[in-house]
Copies of this chain bind each other. A is one copy, B any other.
Amino acid sequence: MNTIRDVARLAGVSTTTVSRVINGVEGVSEARRRRVELAVADLDYVPNAVARHLRSKRTRTIAVVLSDITNPFFTTIARGIQDVAWPRGYAVTFANTDESETQERDYLRTLVQRQVDGVLLVPTGNAAEPYRLLRSQRIPVVLLDRHVSVRQLDEVRCDSEAGAYALVRHLIGLGHRRIAVVTGRRDISTSTDRVAGYERALASAELPLDRDLIRYDSFSLAGGYRMLKSILAIEPRPTAVLATNNFIAFGALRALREAGIDVPGDMSLVTFDDLPEEWHDDPFLTVLAQPAYELGRQAAELLFERLETGARGKRRVIVLPGAVIPRRSSAAPPNVVSDVTVGRRPVPA
């Protein structure tokens, strides 16, 4: 509750001098410095950062806006961000959009009011409008995980297209010819990029593209469940499914289990996003592991570079590679010989 003026009074100096001592500025005589330090200790003085921020116009706070902190992928990203931010003296504020563009806009507005120094954003939609405000207030933004149609913002993400390609090639290598993909909303880049990688993999193996095997819904347990339910009704049934995130995968697994479909005996399942080793024993799913922690870390570093150098430099896009981790959820399709691929030439590895 004591202010810098209380300290100044007790020490018999000006607030200027106290301020200098607190901030370790040169040019204060040893005697006075000691007097001030004593007064600070005496009064249990804690400088008011809000006042400081008002003057300095920097809050040393960054905001992270993402869809759901509860998703282990984002949690890990969040941790990576915090591990960069706190040691530099920055506080980190989180907001969950739940994929709602309205929420996102509201949060961004609040954050602008609160004068955050920068924003790390997992964009919810594809619109440019939400970022106008940040731009006009000169608040640096780094997009995380996803990109948007505005091609001016820094981005840090995983190579979704290549990841999906690799996963589908993995399935093709096992002998699958009819592969479905279940993904999130159409206007989210990770959805479309992963479908693109899927399509390229099919093309590379000269497999036909069946639009009916591509399903868009939402990046959620419920979405995965719904999509798999409807995929199971397709004739002929695909022998493998690519899920584009962890929640979808577990929804898919649930639908498969309920339908009595054995994985991988009857159907293979591969997905994006691995779980940290702390969260499971003997993992089952074949995944494309994304370097989530590293994504968070690098995004934060990039943001701080912008903040600290005030760099109006060129737009930067960092794309990290993922890695296929083959596990028990993917195997050769049932009765390879008799399926729809009969007569096709062998697929190159």
Contact = CB atoms under 8 A, between A and B. Distances in A.
Interface of A: 1, 44, 46-51, 53-54, 59, 61, 68-72, 75-76, 78-79, 82-83, 86, 89, 91-96, 107, 109-115, 133, 136-138, 220-221, 246-247, 250, 253-254, 257, 275-282, 284
Contacts of A92: 93-95
A115 B281 contact: no
10 contacts: A1-B137, A46-B133, A48-B54, A50-B54, A50-B115, A82-B96, A86-B95, A94-B94, A246-B279, A281-B284
B281 A47 contact: no
Contacts of A96: 79, 82-83, 86
A54 B53 CA distance: 9
Contact of A276 (B59, B70, B83, B276): B70
A75 B70 contact: yes
B44 A136 contact: yes
A126 B79 CA distance: 25
A83 B51 CA distance: 29
Given A48-B113, A114-B50, A78 B72 contact: no
Give the top 6 A-B pairs by smallest Cβ distance, nearest first.
A253-B281, A49-B113, A49-B114, A221-B278, A91-B93, A50-B54
A79 B95 CA distance: 9
A279 B285 CA distance: 12
A245 to B, nearest CB: 10
Contact of A82 (B76, B89, B95): B95
Contact of A53 (B50, B94, B284): B50
Nearest to A248: B278
A278 B225 CA distance: 11
Contacts of A111: 91
Given A69-B69, A92-B94, A250-B280, 14 more contacts: A46-B112, A46-B133, A47-B113, A49-B113, A54-B54, A70-B276, A79-B96, A91-B110, A92-B93, A220-B278, A254-B281, A257-B281, A275-B279, A281-B284
